[in-house]
């Protein structure tokens, strides 16, 4: 499910010296908060997850992440910036509690795809992939990401091991191109076990199927 960070501040008036016509007003409100992961992702520094495809995911530590919230009040474009510390996992990227952070460019705001919030079953977020045009009326490409909690399982078996308390999430990532034929979406399934993390992932795109399942893991003290 999509989440956002809201800052309560007023956009400047049209004739403001801080936000002249056609200019961007950047308001920096750096909290430097450390954002801890969900019990279903367990992205703590030193943790690792080994999969049967030969890949090993790991969490190397907490890194600074800029979070942007956008307000538009023509001709003013106000960008509220926060700087926080978030953990990262090799294959998932930056983690915000139970969400994966999607990085966008050119003041489109920070996007969050919530993977494991069972209180919110569906979400959809879209954003332009190419440079943000001055009139912000169109893009050459738009990424559309849908996230859905399929089920919350009491147990789930992977490689002969039974894991308790598992969340099954499905995502759909599709690129809409306004000039070219739009390709089909990439469909991915994620299984997150509580106090462990990602135990299985599968993906399907234009006839290419991939899958990985957990065979060993270590969760660092936290």
pLDDT digits (tens, 9 = 90+) for 183-222: 788 999 999 999 999 999 999 998 889 999 999 999 999 8
Give the Å distances, CA to CA, from 135 to 72, 79, 132, 159: 12, 16, 8, 52
48-51 vs 56-58, strand pairing mode: antiparallel
Of 210 and 128, the structure prediction assigns the larger pLDDT to: 210
Average pLDDT over residues 11-40: 72
Task: Say what the pLDDT of residue 26 is.
Answer: 84
Residue indicated by tokens 């996007």: 111
pLDDT over 90 at 88, yes or no: yes
Task: Say what the pLDDT of residue 2 is.
Answer: 36
- Helices and strands, number each (H, E), in the chain: 0, 14
pLDDT over 80 at 112, yes or no: no
Of 178 and 89, the structure prediction assigns the larger pLDDT to: 89
Angle, vertex CA 120, rays to CA 182 and CA 128, nearest 5: 30
Residues 179, 139: Cα–Cα separation, whole Å: 10
DSSP string, 5-38: -----PPPPTT-SSS-TT-EEEEE-----B-PPP
Task: Say what the pLDDT of residue 27 is.
Answer: 86
pLDDT over 60 at 59, yes or no: yes
* HEC readout, 100-149: EEECCCCCCCCEEEECCCCCCCEEEEEEECCCCCCCCCCCCEEEEEEEEE
Task: Say what the pLDDT of residue 193 is.
Answer: 96
> What letter would DSSP give residue 182?
P
Work out the pLDDT band at 107, boundaries 50, 70, 90. Answer: low
Contact 5, 67 (CB under 8 A): yes
Q: What is the pTM of this model?
A: 0.78
Work out the pLDDT band at 118, boundaries 50, 70, 90. Answer: low
Over residues 142-182, the pLDDT tens digits come to 778 888 889 999 999 999 999 999 999 998 888 776 666 77
Task: Say what the pLDDT of residue 164 is.
Answer: 97
Q: Mean pLDDT over all residues of the chain? A: 80
């Amino acid at each position: 499910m999509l989440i956002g960070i809201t800052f309560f501040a007023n956009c400047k008036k049209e004739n403001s010296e801080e936000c002249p016509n056609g200019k961007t007003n950047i308001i920096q409100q750096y909290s430097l908060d450390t954002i801890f992961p969900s019990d279903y992702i367990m992205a703590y520094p030193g943790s690792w997850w080994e999969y049967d495809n030969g890949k090993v995911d790991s969490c190397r530590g907490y890194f600074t992440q800029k979070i942007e919230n956008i307000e538009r009040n023509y001709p003013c474009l106000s960008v509220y910036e926060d700087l926080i510390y978030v953990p990262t996992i090799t294959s998932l990227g930056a983690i915000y509690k139970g969400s994966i952070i999607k990085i966008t460019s050119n003041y489109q705001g920070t996007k969050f795809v919530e993977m494991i919030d069972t209180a919110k079953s569906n979400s959809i977020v879209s954003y332009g992939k190419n440079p943000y045009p001055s009139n912000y009326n169109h893009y050459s490409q738009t990424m559309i990401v849908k996230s859905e909690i399929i089920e919350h399982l009491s147990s789930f078996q992977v490689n002969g091991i039974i894991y308790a308390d598992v969340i099954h999430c499905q995502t759909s990532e599709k690129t809409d191109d306004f000039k070219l034929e739009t390709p089909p979406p990439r469909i991915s399934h994620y299984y997150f076990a509580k106090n462990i993390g990602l135990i299985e992932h599968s993906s399907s795109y234009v006839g290419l199927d991939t899958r990985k399942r957990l065979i060993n893991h270590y969760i660092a003290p936290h």
